[in-house]
Chain A
Amino acid sequence: MRSGAIWFALLLLTTAAGAQGGGQLRFCLHSDPKTFDPVLVEDDASERVRYMTGGFLTRVNRLTQELEPELATSWKLSKDGRTISFQLREGLHFSDGTPFSAEDVAYTLQRLMDPNLHSPTGDAFRSADGKLETQVTGPNKITVTFPAPVASLDRKFDQVAMLSRKSPKKEMAVLGPFYVADYKAGAYLQLNRNPNYWKHDERGRPLPYLDSIRLDIQQNRDAEMLRFLRGEIDLIDTVDAEYFNRAQSEQAGSAHDAGVSLDPEQLWFNQTAKSPIAAYKRAWFRSTNFRVAIWEAVNRDDMARLVYRGRAQAAVGMLSPADKFWFNSSLETRPYDPQSALRLLAQDGFHQQNGQLIDRDGHAVEFSVVTGAGNKTRERMATMMQEDLSKIGIKLNVVTLDFPSLIERITRTFDYEACLLGLTNMTLGPDAQMNVWLSSAENHQWNPSQKQPETAWEAEIDRLMRAQASSLDPKKRKVAFDRVQQIAWEQAPFIYLVNRHALSAVSPKLHNVQPAVLQPYVYWNIDRLARNTESASK
């Protein structure tokens, strides 16, 4: 009788444990999310929360980089690129139980394009002034017409999390795998499993596997790494090479290198006519030979090896090879070749005198590079450039500035000579590059806001970028964008130094981890991450 009671108690415990399912995942956000409203997201923390809670019509698979159906089972683009029709999944419910329908899609898109809201996500869809038209053609069918063609329209829905028109919980009612259950500003954010999430695994078991996610707000990267090594958190989505090596040495199997990422580190020279720099220096910076010579005189393999401890590679050009479709594979990495650099410089009348490089008017070649104070990686890169350039007689002064001063100089006063900064590319292809490569753009860093393109090659880039943006044929777009990459490589307005690797640290206890080179690197398949092997096995 007594043993029967024990077995019954054990059975109850086992059942309870089974019901508990996947347990809790813990990791850190580096700041508080500024908003939970998915159309207003513009900061990294909010974007990460949106990724884990939002339901999207289409989704770019971070591993294959292919577009996949999510809430929409199919979609059709019109020939003019303005209209897209979605067929939605049936019988879906938001996390609070409110049914999902085409009305919700219309409501979300109207909010997204509301000019009064200034949605950063909506900006990607605004190719011209005018009103968005939505036509609900059935409970699960909707046609959306934009005022002008939008390039890669279907892929852009990867960023649009659906809102509920009817739910009293407003944006807190979600269609993603988790919903926001608790939030204490400056301390933590608790996401719980969405009981109405629509996905199931191959065995028909409901996803996500995890019961909850606790996101601790932790700004200090050292503290985050210590907590990871102590087992208090399960992952760090992005780590630098130093921490990567530390994780690798202290916890076998926890460091993941997904390969070269989309993110470049780059240098550019100030070519702005209104900048207060000396005219002879502007003339150097405007010379293609000078820029290419600098590119060739910097040993970028050494940079990748020493500064990134081998977890980076010399960049080819404006796109990383990680962008599988859009990267122009005919381009080659410029080799480190100081002799070739000197030959190029000689073509512009530069010559060496007592080991110093002199221009044709007798000016010693000396310039400064500004970068953000406190960024040890970039300071190291600048110091290596200093040594490399000294070998061809160029004196480089490294100036570290606090970030507001740096931004002031490169965007308002233009009182700088060269700048070293890095970019974080969240999206593939040319769509996010428009605001950099059009000569009229404010972010055309080397010579922004031009009324007319000042060079023939910038005019050609303008034409090609506009052509690819208005074309709906991916092949034609690719041809145009390949040419843009070619011009950027030849003219070197940006000197691309290295592409860092996508590095992350993940507890070996976590299953189904498949690190990707698109962010989020580790938890892009958050609904399939699991803490126990039973959930993880397929």
Chain B
Amino acid sequence: MRWLRYIAIGILAAVFLASLFAGTLAPAPYAKQFRDEPEAAPSRQHWLGTDDLGRDRFSRVLYGTRISLLLAPAAALLAAALAGLLGGVAGYLGGWTERALMAAADLVLSLPWLFLLLAVRALLPLNVEPLQSVTITFLILGCLGWAAGARVVCAGAGALRNSDFALQARALGCSESRLLLRHLAPNLRPLLLAQFWISVPVFILAEANLGILGLGVSEPLPSWGSLLRELEGLTAISGKPWMFVPLLLLIASVTAFQVLLVDQEMPS
């Protein structure tokens, strides 16, 4: 299945590169309204046509991809780091620390995150730059996304703490910090990587869901979520196949992430 992995890497690389070089590739600024050409079909000027305000859809897809694909991994990294830290500490120390941290994780897991995001967004100052606003949104997603991962990491760290090699290391006089950093942490790495890869598509979809509710990235900044909102309604989905490009990109990217994740988990 190596070829599948290569395809996944190829897709992600192409999408990442295209979004990174959006400034060069985009034929028009993403916010520019060509008001005489609303809802135009694909043409030489507008490769994916224009939206209902006449904005170049290809440029918006490029910039939207940049937002979603750069910030989602950043949020996933934050979530995985928190999960590793809190789950690792809980699992390694055990006892009341484990019980307290896992109770906190349960509490976070039981929160209705969508309503929490709505509330946090409503509390934000009004004059916030769209980029700041979306960064805060992903930051919150990252801060809320640690709990499930922490449970997994805690279980893993607990198992490692009582493993034979840890016992042997202790018997040989290995210090606790060395044991933690040199022996246990590397063994937790696959778990953390898996948590990271799982979180990336989850956060992309979370932002898309917020966008569909109109609570994602502020106008005029595009994101996959705001671009997917164009597919709402009956008229949007008939006779305009080019409008599905953001959806296809989302599916392709999330699938590619999943392929890499499965590949990561499978024994070589």
Interface residues of A (CB under 8 A from B): 222, 225-226, 242-243, 245-246, 302, 305-307, 366-368, 370, 372-376, 379-380, 382-384, 386-387, 397-402, 405, 415-417
Inter-chain contact B233/A242, CB cutoff 8 Å:
yes
Q: List 7 A-B contacts (CB under 8 A).
A: A242-B233, A242-B235, A245-B235, A306-B52, A307-B52, A387-B31, A399-B218
Inter-chain contact B127/A222, CB cutoff 8 Å:
no
Residue of B nearest to A398 (CB): B219
The answer to whether residues A399 and B126 also contact, given A243-B234, A384-B33 and a CB cut-off of 8 A, is yes
Chain A CB within 8 A of B107 CB: no
Chain A residues with Cβ under 8 A from B127's Cβ?
366-368, 397, 417
- A256 CA to B244 CA, complexed, in Å: 31
Residue of A nearest to B121 (CB): A401
Interface string of B222-237 (1 = CB under 8 A from A): 0000000100111100
In the assembled complex, the CB of A30 is this many whole angstroms from the nearest CB of chain B, namely 16
In the assembled complex, the CB of A314 is this many whole angstroms from the nearest CB of chain B, namely 15
Which of B31, B54, B126, B220 lies in contact with A368, CB distance below 8 A?
B126
Inter-chain contact A374/B235, CB cutoff 8 Å:
no
Inter-chain contact B218/A387, CB cutoff 8 Å:
no
Chain A residues with Cβ under 8 A from B122's Cβ?
401-402, 405
Which of B38, B118, B233 lies in contact with A402, CB distance below 8 A?
B118
**Listed residue (B53, B118, B127, B215) with the most chain A CB atoms within 10 angstroms of its CB:** B127
Inter-chain contact A373/B214, CB cutoff 8 Å:
yes
- A368 CA to B220 CA, complexed, in Å: 13
Chain A residues with Cβ under 8 A from B213's Cβ?
373-374
In the assembled complex, the CB of A233 is this many whole angstroms from the nearest CB of chain B, namely 15
Interface residues of B (CB under 8 A from A): 31, 33, 35, 38, 52-54, 118, 121-122, 126-130, 213-215, 218-220, 229, 232-235
- A325 CA to B215 CA, complexed, in Å: 42
Residue of B nearest to A367 (CB): B127
Inter-chain contact A380/B215, CB cutoff 8 Å:
no
The answer to whether residues A400 and B214 also contact, given A384-B33, A384-B53 and a CB cut-off of 8 A, is yes
Inter-chain contact A386/B220, CB cutoff 8 Å:
yes
Inter-chain contact A222/B233, CB cutoff 8 Å:
yes
In the assembled complex, the CB of B164 is this many whole angstroms from the nearest CB of chain A, namely 54
- A386 CA to B52 CA, complexed, in Å: 15
Inter-chain contact B219/A373, CB cutoff 8 Å:
no
17 other contacts beyond A305-B35, A373-B215, with CB at 8 A cut-off? Answer: A225-B234, A243-B233, A243-B234, A246-B234, A306-B35, A368-B126, A373-B213, A374-B214, A376-B229, A382-B219, A384-B33, A387-B31, A397-B129, A400-B214, A401-B122, A405-B122, A417-B126
Residue of A nearest to B128 (CB): A397
Inter-chain contact A370/B126, CB cutoff 8 Å:
yes
Please name the 8 residue pairs, one residue from A and one from B, whose CB atoms are nearest each other, closest first.
A405-B122, A373-B214, A368-B126, A374-B214, A383-B219, A398-B219, A400-B214, A373-B215
Inter-chain contact A383/B234, CB cutoff 8 Å:
no
- A405 CA to B128 CA, complexed, in Å: 17
Chain A residues with Cβ under 8 A from B234's Cβ?
222, 225-226, 243, 246
Residue of A nearest to B123 (CB): A405
In the assembled complex, the CB of B88 is this many whole angstroms from the nearest CB of chain A, namely 37
Inter-chain contact B235/A376, CB cutoff 8 Å:
no
Residue of A nearest to B118 (CB): A402
Residue of B nearest to A277 (CB): B126
**Listed residue (B38, B54, B214, B229) with the most chain A CB atoms within 10 angstroms of its CB:** B214
In the assembled complex, the CB of A500 is this many whole angstroms from the nearest CB of chain B, namely 16
- A305 CA to B169 CA, complexed, in Å: 75
Which of A368, A380, A398 lies in contact with B53, CB distance below 8 A?
A380
- A380 CA to B122 CA, complexed, in Å: 20
Inter-chain contact A376/B53, CB cutoff 8 Å:
no
Inter-chain contact A375/B235, CB cutoff 8 Å:
no
Inter-chain contact B53/A383, CB cutoff 8 Å:
yes
In the assembled complex, the CB of A80 is this many whole angstroms from the nearest CB of chain B, namely 50
Residue of A nearest to B126 (CB): A368
- A325 CA to B92 CA, complexed, in Å: 80
- A246 CA to B52 CA, complexed, in Å: 15
Chain B residues with Cβ under 8 A from A305's Cβ?
35
Residue of B nearest to A405 (CB): B122
Which of B31, B52, B54, B218 lies in contact with A400, CB distance below 8 A?
B218
In the assembled complex, the CB of B182 is this many whole angstroms from the nearest CB of chain A, namely 49
Chain B residues with Cβ under 8 A from A375's Cβ?
214
- A264 CA to B121 CA, complexed, in Å: 28
Chain A residues with Cβ under 8 A from B218's Cβ?
397-400
Inter-chain contact B214/A306, CB cutoff 8 Å:
no
In the assembled complex, the CB of B130 is this many whole angstroms from the nearest CB of chain A, namely 8
In the assembled complex, the CB of A372 is this many whole angstroms from the nearest CB of chain B, namely 8
Chain A residues with Cβ under 8 A from B52's Cβ?
306-307, 380
The answer to whether residues A376 and B126 also contact, given A386-B219, A398-B218 and a CB cut-off of 8 A, is no
Chain B residues with Cβ under 8 A from A400's Cβ?
214-215, 218
Chain A residues with Cβ under 8 A from B128's Cβ?
397
**Listed residue (A366, A370, A386) with the most chain B CB atoms within 10 angstroms of its CB:** A386
- A305 CA to B39 CA, complexed, in Å: 12
In the assembled complex, the CB of B227 is this many whole angstroms from the nearest CB of chain A, namely 13
Chain B residues with Cβ under 8 A from A222's Cβ?
233-234
In the assembled complex, the CB of A298 is this many whole angstroms from the nearest CB of chain B, namely 13
Residue of B nearest to A417 (CB): B126
- A368 CA to B130 CA, complexed, in Å: 12
In the assembled complex, the CB of A330 is this many whole angstroms from the nearest CB of chain B, namely 31
